[in-house]
Chains A and B, each alone.
Chain A
Amino acid sequence: MGGAHSSLGTGPTRRTLLAGGAAALLAGCGRRDPNALSFWATGYEGDYAPYLLTAFERATGIPVDRQSLPGTAAHEKFLTAFAGGSLPDVLMLPSGWVAEFAMIGAIAPVPDAALTGDTFPGVVRPLTWAGVAHAVPWSVGSQVQFYRRDLLAEVGYDAPPGDWDGWRTLGARLKRRHPDRFAMLMFLNWWDTLVTFAGQAGAYPLKDQETRGNFRTAEYREALGFYASLFADGYAPGVSSNEVQDPLAAFAQGWFALYPSGPTLLTDLHRRTAEIAPDRWGTARMPGPNGPGRVSAVNNSLAVSAATKRPEEAWALVRHLSSAESELHYQRLIGVLPARRSAWASPQLADPVLRPFAEQMEVPARLPTIVEWERIRAEVQLVAERVVRGGLTIDEGLRAMDARVDALLAKRRALVAAGRIA
Chain B
Amino acid sequence: MAVTGKRARAVLLNALVAAITLAVLAPFAWMVTVSFMPRYESSRYPPPLWPSRWTWGNYYELLYRRLIDGAWFDYRIVPALGNSLVVATVSTLLGLLLTVPAGYAFAKLRFRGRERLLQLLIASLVVPGQVAMLPLFLIFREIGLVNTWPGLILPSLAGIFAILFVRQATLSIPDEMLDAARLDGAGELAIFRRVVLPLLAPVTVTLALFMFLGSWNDFLWPLIVLADQHRYTLPVAVAAISREHAADGELMMAAAVVTTLPVLLLFLALQRYYIGGLLGGSVKG
Contacts and interface: CB of A to CB of B under 8 A. Distances in A.
* Chains A and B bind each other: yes
Interface of A: 1-8, 11-12, 14, 17, 20-21, 24-25, 27-32, 43, 47, 50-51, 53-54, 65, 67-73, 77, 80-81, 83-87
Given A28-B78, A29-B79, A2 B59 contact: no
Contact of B243 (A32, A67, A72): A72
Given A11-B56, A24-B78, A84-B141, A67 B244 contact: no
A11 B63 contact: no
Contacts of B108: none
Contacts, number: 113
A61 to B, nearest CB: 16
Nearest to A21: B63
Given A28-B82, A51-B69, A86 B56 contact: no
Contacts of B81: 25
Interface string B177-212: 000000000000000000000000000000000000
A50 B243 contact: no
A85 B79 contact: no
Contacts of A6: 68-69
B243 A17 contact: no
A21 B69 CA distance: 22
Given A5-B61, A5-B66, A80-B227, A86 B245 contact: no
B146 A83 contact: yes
8 contacts: A3-B251, A14-B56, A17-B56, A30-B83, A47-B244, A71-B243, A80-B225, A81-B227
B246 interface: yes
Contacts of B78: 24-25, 28
Nearest to A69: B240
A55 to B, nearest CB: 9
Contacts of A67: 228-229
Nearest to A87: B227
A183 to B, nearest CB: 27
Nearest to A16: B60
Contacts of B147: 81, 84-86
5 interchain residue pairs of minimum CB distance? A84-B146, A70-B243, A50-B71, A81-B227, A28-B79
Interface of B: 39, 55-57, 59-61, 63-66, 68-74, 76, 78-79, 81-83, 86, 137-138, 140-141, 144, 146-147, 224-225, 227-231, 240, 243-248, 251
A5 B57 CA distance: 13
Given A28-B76, A70-B243, A81-B147, 12 more contacts: A6-B68, A8-B60, A20-B64, A24-B63, A28-B82, A29-B82, A43-B244, A51-B69, A70-B240, A84-B137, A85-B146, A86-B147
A70 B227 contact: no
Contact of A30 (B68, B137, B138, B230): B230
A32 B227 contact: no
Interface of chain A: mostly helix, strand, loop or mixed: mixed
Contacts of B230: 30-32, 65
Contacts of B59: 17
Contacts of A31: 230
Contacts of B65: 24, 27-28
Contacts of B74: 28
B79 A30 contact: yes
B68 A5 contact: yes
Contacts of A77: 227
Nearest to A11: B57
A29 B146 CA distance: 20
A299 to B, nearest CB: 20
Nearest to A42: B244
A86 B228 contact: yes
B223 to A, nearest CB: 9
Nearest to A12: B60
B244 to A, nearest CB: 5
Contacts of A24: 63-65, 78
B82 to A, nearest CB: 5
Contacts of A65: 230
Contacts of B144: 85
B56 A83 contact: no
Contacts of B244: 1, 43, 47, 68, 70-71
Contacts of A47: 244
Contact of B146 (A27, A54, A86): A86
Contacts of B246: 1
Which one of B56, B82, B227 has the highest number of Cβ atoms from chain A below 10 Å of its Cβ?
B227
Nearest to B233: A30
B224 A80 contact: yes
Nearest to A83: B141
Contact of A17 (B60, B71, B224): B60
